[in-house]
Structure 1
Amino acid sequence: MFTKPTLASATSKLIPLAAVIGSACFALPAQANYYDCKPPKTSYAEVDCTSDGDYYLGFNKDRQLQALLNKQGKVIASLKGYDSVSWTVSDGVIAVMKNDKVGYVNTRGKLVVPTIYDNLIDPDDKYDETWANDASEGRIVVAKNGKFGIIDTSNKVILPFTSKYRTIEGMTEGMAPIMSKSGKWGFLDKNGKEVVPPKYEGLDGNFGGVYGFRQGLAGVYDGNKWGFITKTGKVAVPFVYDEIRPFSEGLAGVLKNGKWGFINGANKTIIPFKYSDKNVERYSVNYMGANYFVFNEGVAEVATINDKTVCINKSGKSVACPDY
């Protein structure tokens, strides 16, 4: 077992997103699907939803994994013998673990990537529950004997396993965050080419994880302020913000001078800076109110006042909050 570095920043500052705790990389649409999910009726003692409404996981009364199910509750394939399975279906594959080794099955239950890769959980980081990465555009970031590499969903090696980086994080939108030996962040493309050299002090993230690219932009920290870059490394939003959220539904929540507002990808203010940071509940040093200022189906949480959550729509008008 290797030790992963502290994520999100080479410093101690961690900045969050919507708190989606999956067993692999997370994404907001998957969160919405998961909360909306209604498991089909089956003979299994327990049925879990996945991020894809077409697939479910069946367990026996001892919580042992049994089968992959369709939305009618019928068995697609046996999953007996695996110790863990991801709830995320991405690029048609699902991460599985057996004897502390990670592999991937397809949606027919066939093992397309053998269980030979490292469990990515860092036992010294209680906030990091990521034991495997999701696929993105046919690529998966994996580790073997403590070295990181990139494979495709048929287990072909795209980027040979290397110790050049302290870590390579899971891909989003075909881009993988990298951390240099000196603790700086950059990005590889899906073919393993270093397109954004590791020079940033931090990446937008939460709970020991980083978000990477969302809607073509990634939040980065220059050591003083936060901004956003494109996939070519061009600065799209200048480094002027004290805290940020990733882009969702075309907007990003950003903090400046103690007030939150929303900008678009051209740094135009769409919803004015009027939401006080004092109304953001921050439960711990690392959990920095990740559920605030992220739009999901047109609604975003912007405050908690007198134990009541306040939500707005994309016009900035107060609306009822979702009941998760």
Structure 2
Amino acid sequence: MKLKVIIIELFIIFLFVGCTANNSLQIVNQNNKFGLYNVDTNKTQIPTIYDDLILMKNYNSKNEQFSSKNVFNLHWVHSRDTKEYYIYEYKELYGIISEDNKLIFEPIFSEISDFYQGVAVVKENDKYGYINKKFELIQKPTYSDARDFIEKISFVKSFINNKYACINPNMKLLSDFIYDKVFDFSEGLARVLKDNKWGFINIECKEVIPAKFDFASDFIGEKAKILDGNKSYFIDKNNIK
């Protein structure tokens, strides 16, 4: 019986600790400056000269955590790439550096997000754009806002009319700039505000529930609450009460 308990405990430790990170690489702080130290080789890999250093956690994943409901799905075991990348801060700007101290981006950005769906948001001079995992600037900072690709589409905002449009990871606009507000996807649909009316789009940027309501909540448990004039009721994803 004791042996069985030990085996279960070892499995749990392996599940939550083993292979989840490169534990030999440690971010270190010296005199309020950050760098990267390799515990195995006892060598500094990135000198402690940066104002901050943050691991890009999603670089070596495909973001399956947003779709997989199986707690014991071990797709991540031994799937790590051989190299990790870090966002570094220098004089209040951000760049990207590899674990072997190769500068990928000079510190030209005021913001860099982690990777989602293979792309990351960057901000330069109050304008937003995107980079891919090859560290190519696939969308020059042009927009007044740009959201992470948690789903297959995201949203960008125009300086011209201050409205949002849908965009896919290939940087193709899927709609005109017509939405005043956009919200995160919930149950496969996202709330949008257009011409002061609320509706819903799907992950293909199709307006599956027309923007005609005075207010709409997110879908929770297949239902969303609607305010339509003086009426309040719930609808399903087919716009049926």
CA change 1:237–1:311 in 2 (3 A) is same
Following the alignment from structure 1 to structure 2, what is the Cα–Cα distance between the partners of residues 219 and 230? 8
* TM-score, scaled to structure 1: 0.46
Residue pair 2:158, 2:177 contacting (<8 A) in 1 also: yes
Q: Secondary structure of the equivalent of 1:232?
A: coil
1:193 matches 2:136:
yes
Where does the alignment leave 5 or more consecutive residues of structure 1 unmatched?
Answer: 1-68, 78-90, 104-112, 121-130, 205-211, 280-291, 319-324
In structure 2, the residue matched to 1:92 is 20
1:263 matches 2:201:
yes
Q: Secondary structure of the equivalent of 1:143?
A: strand
Following the alignment from structure 1 to structure 2, what is the Cα–Cα distance between the partners of residues 97 and 172? 23
In structure 1, the residue matched to 2:152 is 216
CA change 1:258–1:119 in 2 (3 A) is same
Question: Could you tell me how far 1:253 is from its partner in structure 2?
Answer: 1.6
Q: Secondary structure of the equivalent of 1:178?
A: strand
Question: Could you tell me how far 1:97 is from its partner in structure 2?
Answer: 6.9
Residue pair 2:117, 2:169 contacting (<8 A) in 1 also: no
Paired amino acid for 1:135: N
Paired amino acid for 1:228: C
Q: Secondary structure of the equivalent of 2:59?
A: coil
1:244 matches 2:182:
yes
Following the alignment from structure 1 to structure 2, what is the Cα–Cα distance between the partners of residues 315 and 94? 46
Give the count of matched residue pairs.
190
Following the alignment from structure 2 to structure 1, what is the Cα–Cα distance between the partners of residues 177 and 188? 19
Q: Given the alignment, which residue of 87, 98, 120 partners 1:142?
A: 87
Q: Secondary structure of the equivalent of 1:227?
A: strand
Residue pair 1:237, 1:265 contacting (<8 A) in 2 also: no
Q: Given the alignment, which residue of 225, 237, 240 partners 1:314?
A: 237
In structure 1, the residue matched to 2:6 is none
**Which string of whole-angstrom CA distances, capped at 9 and with x for unpartnered residues, describes residues 2-57 of structure 1?**
xxxxxxxxxxxxxxxxxxxxxxxxxxxxxxxxxxxxxxxxxxxxxxxxxxxxxxxx
**Which string of whole-angstrom CA distances, capped at 9 and with x for unpartnered residues, describes residues 189-219 of structure 1?**
0111011111111124xxxxxxx11322220
Identity score, percent: 25
Question: Could you tell me how far 1:148 is from its partner in structure 2?
Answer: 1.4
Paired amino acid for 1:160: I
In structure 2, the residue matched to 1:232 is 170
Q: Which one has more relative contact order, counting CA pairs under 8 Å at least 6 apart?
A: 1
Tell which structure's C-alpha radius of gyration is larger: 2
Following the alignment from structure 1 to structure 2, what is the Cα–Cα distance between the partners of residues 251 and 316? 12
Paired amino acid for 1:165: F
Question: Could you tell me how far 1:238 is from its partner in structure 2?
Answer: 1.6
In structure 2, the residue matched to 1:160 is 104
Q: CA RMSD in A?
A: 4.3
**Which string of whole-angstrom CA distances, capped at 9 and with x for unpartnered residues, describes residues 244-303 of structure 1?**
1244554322111222111234443212324424x7xxxxxxxxxxxx53x56x546546
Residue pair 2:199, 2:210 contacting (<8 A) in 1 also: yes
Following the alignment from structure 1 to structure 2, what is the Cα–Cα distance between the partners of residues 137 and 226? 30
1:170 matches 2:118:
no
Following the alignment from structure 2 to structure 1, what is the Cα–Cα distance between the partners of residues 237 and 139? 32
Paired amino acid for 1:136: Y
CA change 1:218–1:137 in 2 (3 A) is farther
CA change 1:317–1:200 in 2 (3 A) is same
**Which string of whole-angstrom CA distances, capped at 9 and with x for unpartnered residues, describes residues 107-147 of structure 1?**
xxxxxx98967547xxxxxxxxxx76532345655115454
Question: Could you tell me how far 1:230 is from its partner in structure 2?
Answer: 1.8
CA change 1:150–1:227 in 2 (3 A) is farther
Q: Given the alignment, which residue of 197, 203, 217 partners 2:146?
A: 203
